């Protein structure tokens, strides 16, 4: 389909219509999804930092790697939530 223009993604208008009395709003589902993603990210980050410190504590790359991971994760999270980059 290279001859057709790109269209932005839009979910179907009646995506939540099958739920009784619109039990969940789209905003609530997005909120819970983001909560799950950031909870997974926080647990992953803590485990990764623990392993970096335990098994690579003698390496000169450990602390810069932790710093880079935290900075990149923060930039990606803020971009995902706001749509703009801070710098």
- Do 34 and 81 contact (CB within 8 A), yes or no? yes
> In Å, how far from its chain's centre is CA 21?
30
**Residue burial 34-46, b: 16+ Cβ < 10 Å; e: rest:** eeeeeeeeeeeee
41: containing domain? 33-82
Q: Is residue 87 part of a domain?
A: no
What is this structure's pTM?
0.58
Q: Is residue 73 part of a domain?
A: yes
Q: Is residue 77 part of a domain?
A: yes
Q: Which two tokens stand for residue 31?
A: 């909120």
Question: Which pLDDT belongs to residue 18?
Answer: 63
* 68: Cβ contacts below 8 Å, ≥ 6 apart: none
The total of structural domains in the chain comes to 1
Q: What is the mean pLDDT of the chain?
A: 78
Q: How confident is the model at residue 9 (pLDDT cuts 50, 70, 90)?
A: low
């Amino acid at each position: 389909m290279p001859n057709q223009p790109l269209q932005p993604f839009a979910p179907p208008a009646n995506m939540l219509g099958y739920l009784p009395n619109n039990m969940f709003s789209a905003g609530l589902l997005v909120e819970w999804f983001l909560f799950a993603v950031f909870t997974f990210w926080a647990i992953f980050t803590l485990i990764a930092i623990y392993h970096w410190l335990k098994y690579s504590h003698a390496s000169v790359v450990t602390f810069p790697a932790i710093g880079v991971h935290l900075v990149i994760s923060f930039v990606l999270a803020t971009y995902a939530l706001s749509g703009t980059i801070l710098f």
